[in-house]
Amino acid sequence: MEVDKVYLGDCVKIMKTLPNKSVDLVFADPPFNIGLKYDVYNDNLSYEKYYKWSEEWVKEACRLLKNSGAIYVAIGDEFAAELNIILKRRGFYFRNWIVWHYTFGQNQRKKFTRAHTHILYFTKDKARFTFNDKHIRVPSARQLVYKDKRANPLGKIPDDVWQFSRICGTFKERLGRHPCQMPESLLERIISVSSNEGDTVLDPFGGTGTTAAVAKKLKRHFITMEISEEYYDIILRRLNLRRVKSVSEDEEEEQRTLFAVLR
């Protein structure tokens, strides 16, 4: 399978063209179905449609994941419970329900400001998976506050509530007009702990290419997909890649050839 590749098109269709058990880690940050304004994607599907579509992409991601692999799904309050069930029904083993608590949530007028996203962490196998705890340890209160000699000098494994700032419009890291670019620091933790150098990381919902960019920085291979041409171009620029033909362009060309033959 070709790696270090960005596809333009529908991730379900594209994943169907890729071989079984070919990736080590999946990070998926799908649209949350909360009416966000994306370039082309309609983030306002009926409950049934969104649920069915979530089942479809989870099924393909599961097929592509090696038996030793892990999947992390970022999801909002509205569908976190549903995604948790879909992942369990697909046969994944639950490991953590991580809450990403961020600063700079968008101000609300008639409800409380949203300041978190759920990140569901599952593995394909119950016992065999990568977890490089040494790469993500953080200083503990035992070390810093209580100066306890028994504290592990390497720090502790982070809790399941994570603090990273959201990428706001004015941030230097912000790329283009994408409404929900994730911080690289969050992807650094996930990719460092759940994959090794040389592994392949898949993100079916590329957005601005955060997962691919961090995977590249951490010497992993990446495969990502994005349905919007505008965002696809942002990803290519971010990764210093040249434009290549998309699956849909290939399909169109096939159809043109077929019509020419039939005529």
Ligand X SMILES: C[S@@+](CC[C@H](N)C(=O)[O-])C[C@H]1O[C@@H](n2cnc3c(N)ncnc32)[C@H](O)[C@@H]1O
| Minimum distance from residue 111 beta carbon to ligand X (Å) | 21
Instruction: For residues 262 and 123, give the distance between their C-alpha atoms in angstroms, rounded to a whole number.
Output: 49
Distance set, CA 225 to CA 96, 136, 172, 209 (Å): 26, 27, 24, 9
Q: Which is nearer to ligand X, 40 or 85 (CB)?
A: 40
Q: How remote is the C-alpha of 51 from its chain's centroid?
A: 18
- Strands (E) located in 180-220: 200-203
Angle made by CA atoms 50, 54, 56, in degrees to the nearest 5: 120
Q: Which is nearer to ligand X, 79 or 231 (CB)?
A: 231
Contact yes or no for 152/119 (Cβ under 8 A): no
Does position 60 bind ligand X by CB under 6 A?
no
Does position 28 bind ligand X by CB under 6 A?
no
- Selected range binding ligand X among 115-123, 152-160, 188-196, 219-227, rule: CB under 6 A: 219-227
Instruction: For residues 260 and 254, give the distance between their C-alpha atoms in angstroms, rounded to a whole number.
Output: 10
Could you tell me the two tokens for 38?
Answer: 């994306």
| Minimum distance from residue 61 beta carbon to ligand X (Å) | 12
Binding characters for ligand X, 4-23, by CB under 6 A (x = yes): ------xx------------
- Selected range binding ligand X among 119-127, 156-164, 193-201, 207-215, rule: CB under 6 A: 207-215
| Residue closest to ligand X when measured from CB atoms | 207
* Amino acid at residue number 96: N
Around Cβ 55, how many Cβ atoms within 10 Å? 15
Could you tell me the two tokens for 218?
Answer: 């951490």
Q: Which of 123, 226, 238, 246 binds ligand X (CB under 6 A)?
A: 226
Does position 195 bind ligand X by CB under 6 A?
no
Does position 162 bind ligand X by CB under 6 A?
no
Instruction: For residues 185 and 172, give the distance between their C-alpha atoms in angstroms, rounded to a whole number.
Output: 14
Does position 181 bind ligand X by CB under 6 A?
yes
Contact yes or no for 200/186 (Cβ under 8 A): no
| Minimum distance from residue 262 beta carbon to ligand X (Å) | 30
| Minimum distance from residue 235 beta carbon to ligand X (Å) | 8
Does position 29 bind ligand X by CB under 6 A?
yes
Q: Which of 65, 100, 200, 207 binds ligand X (CB under 6 A)?
A: 207
* Amino acid at residue number 71: I
| Minimum distance from residue 180 beta carbon to ligand X (Å) | 4
Give the residues lining the site for ligand X (CB under 6 A): 10-11, 29-31, 38, 41, 178, 180-182, 205, 207-208, 210, 225-228, 231
